[in-house]
Amino acid sequence: MTRKKAVVDAAIAGADLDKGLLLLLTGNGKGKSSSAFGMVARTLGYGLKAGVVQFIKSRRDTGEEKFFGQQPGVQWQVLGDGFTWDTQNREADIATAQRAWAVAQGFLRDASLHLVVLDELTYLLKYGYLDAQQVCADLAARPPMQHVAITGRAAPECLLEMADTVSEIQDVKHAFRSGVRAQPGIDL
């Protein structure tokens, strides 16, 4: 244990860089968005500011929005309203995605935001509604100390390569498959 502690302590002492991180939370298990919102809470704990764009969810009654939407340090934008997944109007979906990305671009130019959360962004890249090269270029051009957390399944390769921290959350079990509906405070 003493030897192990010395190795860990040396690794911690050696990690002396500060930089704005790109975090990618992906995979099929539960815990991607809620992890990102946990980092928003930590950010607010230090009196710092955060911006959140929810690209998919059009519902406005989630616990996260009820809470964080009231916090003065948070800019909370739910921009998934125009999607027509069912009616398959691709032009309209691309327009919705681009409107949402324009809001994200504003956050990615705002150095007063310590953390930007791009919740469920990966789906818009997967369906080709946003150009991955453009998205990666905008991420690369952000203020150097700004952290960005991106969530969603099926992250494209360029995001995986660019990210500093990648977690792939595995689906081992989910209560939904036992017939349990989404629970307030846990799932929404």
How many residues contact ligand ATP, by CB under 6 A?
14
Q: Which is nearer to ligand ATP, 108 or 149 (CB)?
A: 149
List all residues 6 or more positions away from 78 whose beta carbon is below 8 Å from its beta carbon. 54, 57, 58, 59, 60, 65
Going by DSSP bridges, is the β-strand pair 147-151/74-78 parallel, antiparallel, or unpaired?
unpaired
Give the number of other CB atoms < 10 A from CB of residue 12: 9
60 binds, among ligand ATP, Mg ion, none (CB under 5 to 8 A by kind): none
Compare residues 85 and 176 and give the one whose CB is closer to ligand ATP.
Answer: 176
Among positions 6, 8, 10, 28, the unique one binding ligand ATP when judged by CB under 6 A: 28
Question: Measured at CB, which residue is nearest to ligand ATP?
Answer: 187
28 binds, among Mg ion, ligand ATP, none (CB under 5 to 8 A by kind): ligand ATP
* Contact predicate 25/167, CB 8 Å: yes
H/E segment holding residue 49: strand 49-54
- Calpha distance 90→124 (Å, rounded): 11
When binding is defined by CB under 6 A, the residue of 23, 24, 26, 32 that contacts ligand ATP is 32
Q: Please, is 168 exposed, middle or buried when counting C-beta atoms within 10 Å of its C-beta (0-12, 13-18, 19+)?
A: middle
Binding mask 71-100 for ligand ATP (x = CB under 6 A): ------------------------------
- Select from 4-12, 70-78, 96-104, 169-177 the region that touches ligand ATP (CB under 6 A): 169-177
Sign of the C-alpha dihedral computed for residues 60, 65, 70 and 73 taken in this order? negative
Rank residues 28 and 134 by Cβ distance to Mg ion and give the closer one.
Answer: 28
User: Which of residues 25, 27, 33, 113 is near Mg ion by CB under 5 A?
Assistant: 33
Which residues of the shown chain bind Mg ion in the complex (CB under 5 A)? 32-33
